[in-house]
Amino acid sequence: MMMKWRLFKETGRPLSTAEGLAIDDTLPRSVDQHGSPPILHLYTFVPSAIVGKYQDIEAALKLERCKARGVEYNRRATGGGTVIMGPQVVALGLGINLDYPGIKNGVSGVFESLSQVLCAAVSRFGVKARFRPRNDLEVEGKKLAGLSAAAESGKALLFHTSLLVDFDIGLMLDIMNTPLIKIQDKGYSCFSQRITTFGQETGKRLSVTEVMDAIQEAFEEHFGIQFTQDRPDPWEQECISRLIKERYTNKDWIFSHKHPRARMGVGRVKTKGGLLEIYLSLAGGSIENLVITGDFFSTTEAVQRIESELKWTSARREAIEEKLGAIWKPDMIYGLDVPTLASAILQAKENQVRL
Amino acid sequence: MVEIKGYNMPDELYYHKEHSWARVDGNRVTVGMTDFFQKEAGDIVFVDLPEEEDEVEQGEVCGKIQSRKWIGKLVAPVSGEIVEINEELEEDTSLINTDPYGKGWILVIEASNLEEELGNLIHGAEAVTKFIEEEIKRAEEEKAKA
């Protein structure tokens, strides 16, 4: 008999951040402690900005702008960076046991397995996406979805992702403290080169429900299962209410100070290949994000590949050079080599200031 | 240094199955994460640690370790009081990747029931080899299933 998984699909209304995140946190708990089969939660949020568990929310977001624009902000239980959510972004929470058949074992394997499912969902609209190790789903170098996860309860895992059906880059630039804000005149083109949406890729106005249906079907095919549309039972409701109270409406959680120190810096180096500008966000000793711009010759895909590879690398020369060396091809950036690029990044690190 | 299937697993250490290690010096137990864990997790970017003077139980999740977007668990290999935290990790969490058994140590526990609890941990070349081989086999089986 075909295995049944549970599906919490909410198409009627966007959820508040507190409700959506509390339901997601309940999923792995229910799988681990309440005997539930895997649960997939598909929904949308009200316009909101959600930071990763260990991000400095005050450094990541302009909270006053969020309030002025009626954008909710909150902190999720999984890792990674800030995501901007809203009625045109499909939110996905999955609670599943780490040793479930079909889930590749190990930390990186989990992301890979679930990315395959998402790629299959996306391909139903004729969009060819691929997994960019370790955490992004991309279409020709542009990010379509970000993935994050946390080991929450016993062997059960909470997996989070968001898929962009449509996206307001202007809103994102207004409420986020990103290094790119510093080059706002170039901001729109920089962002539009780095992010894509279902709308852009298909040239159609897709509804979030269509995308949710495709995700549901891709899960059913990949794992050979069938979903039962369901809703939280009383045990789960109680867990959700508790998490809303203790976490998602609690200032101690939302403004948690458990995070690496956030800093940013800019590096400018004249090279044989042209002027190279590096905008760097640091989280403690790691590179949280970087943007490479300048008047050199390269392709968007090559620059993105480099930026993506360096995310969350330790900001030390050896680590940066090792990461770059592993992916470097001659003239990836015309006239530039690994040590020069590493020097520009280190210069941005030297120039770091507190956000 | 003892290498098992490409993983450095010093045999003087005691290992918890969730991949924390314990180095015993009298009643003081230094704790860190194994080479196997750091290779699986990749770049470690944040360690969420308990406070000094906190009491922990053997097997209790006493911290969280974030590698890129993944958040994993630090499980206390022995019970006792946390008496020291590696403050260098605040600035450079990559020490867990580059030197997991040296500069990448995470905390020190003043053990309260050491003798009995060491028996619950994996220790000695033979047992550690078996443990790692099983971990690798499990990963491979899961890959095959997938």
Q: Which CATH architecture describes the domain A262-354? A: 2-Layer Sandwich (3.30)
Secondary structure letter of residue A248 according to DSSP: I
Two structure tokens written together for A73: 């902000």
State the Rg of chain A over Cα. 20
Residue with the larger pLDDT of the pair A194 and A49:
A49
CA atoms within 13 A on the CB side of A179: 26
Amino acid at A227: F
Nearest by CB to residue A53, choosing from B71, B72, B143, is B71
The per-residue pLDDT for B80 is 97
Name the residue among A79, A106, A258 with its Cβ closest to that of B40: A106
| Of B4, B36, B2, B7, nearest in space to B19 by CA | B36
3-state helix, strand, coil in chain B (%, to 5): 30, 35, 35
**Considering only CB atoms, which chain A residues are within 8 Å of B91?**
284-285
pTM for this model (two decimals) = 0.82
* pLDDT level of residue A59 (50, 70, 90 thresholds): confident
Its ipTM equals 0.70
Task: Dump pLDDT digits (tens) for A100-145.
Answer: 877 766 656 777 888 899 999 999 999 999 887 667 788 887 888 8
Query: Out of A210-214, B114-118, B132-136, which region has the weakest mean confidence (pLDDT)?
Result: B132-136
Where are chain A's structural domains?
3-254, 262-354
Cα Dmax for chain B: 46
Specify the CATH number of the domain A3-254: 3.30.930.10
Contacts of A149 in chain B (CB under 8 A): 69-71
Mean pLDDT of A25-37: 95
- What confidence tier does A188 reach under pLDDT thresholds 50, 70, 90? very low
Residue among A312, A318, A322 with most chain B CBs within 10 A, to mutate: A312
Q: Please indicate if any CB of chain A lies within 8 Å of the CB of B67.
A: yes
Q: Name which of B34, B46, B74 to mutate to probe chain A: the one with the most chain A Cβ atoms within 10 A of its Cβ.
A: B46
What are B121-145's pLDDT values in tens digits? 999 989 999 998 888 777 666 556 5
Q: Which residue of A has its CA nearest to B74?
A: A151
Q: Where are the domains of chain B?
A: 3-145
Q: What is the mean pLDDT of residues A152-170?
A: 85
CATH top-level class of B3-145: mainly beta
Say how far apart CA A243 and CA A133 lie, in whole Å. Answer: 31
Q: What is the mean pLDDT of residues A57-84?
A: 93
Mean pLDDT of chain A: 88
What tokens were used for A219? 């899960």
Q: Torsions phi, psi of A32, nearest 5?
A: -80, -40
CB contact under 8 A, B41 and A146: no
Check residue B104 and report its DSSP letter.
Answer: T
